[in-house]
């Protein structure tokens, strides 16, 4: 399953290097982290300033596995989840997606 996460370039580099982490914590923190992801890259508009990146997350988790993390179901034409960072890190590969 492919998911997408948009973030600033600096954070994208940290995620690619050390994995996901809570926006209120740091990569070195143990705190529970939830990462907002969506099932379509089109749902995540880019920053007009151009200082953001789209990350593509290839995960072995199914939609059933993600049910308890679901935020919205298709109301905007996409599904959105807040998934604990540790789960994403354990079950996913992340790459920088060249969108443009």
The pTM for the full model equals: 0.76
Quote the longest CA-to-CA distance of the chain: 36
Please write the tens of the pLDDT for every residue from 6-62. 888 898 999 999 998 755 544 444 444 567 788 776 655 555 556 688 899 999 999
Type and span of the H or E element at 89: helix 85-91
How far apart are alpha carbons 45 and 84 in whole angstroms? 23
Range list of β-strands (E), 30-99: 34-38, 52-59, 70-73, 79-84, 92-97
Cα–Cα distances (Å) from 80 to 10, 48, 97, in that order, read 23, 22, 18
Both tokens of 50, joined, read 């151009």
């Amino acid at each position: 399953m492919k998911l997408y996460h948009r973030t600033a370039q600096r954070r994208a580099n940290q995620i690619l290097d050390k994995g996901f982490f809570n926006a209120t914590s740091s990569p070195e923190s143990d705190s529970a982290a939830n990462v907002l992801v969506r099932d379509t890259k089109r749902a995540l508009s880019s920053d007009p300033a151009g200082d953001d990146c789209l990350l593509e997350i290839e995960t072995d988790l199914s939609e059933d596995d993600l049910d308890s993390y679901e935020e919205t179901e298709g109301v905007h034409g996409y599904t959105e989840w807040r998934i604990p960072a540790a789960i994403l890190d354990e079950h996913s590969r992340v790459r920088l997606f060249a969108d443009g």
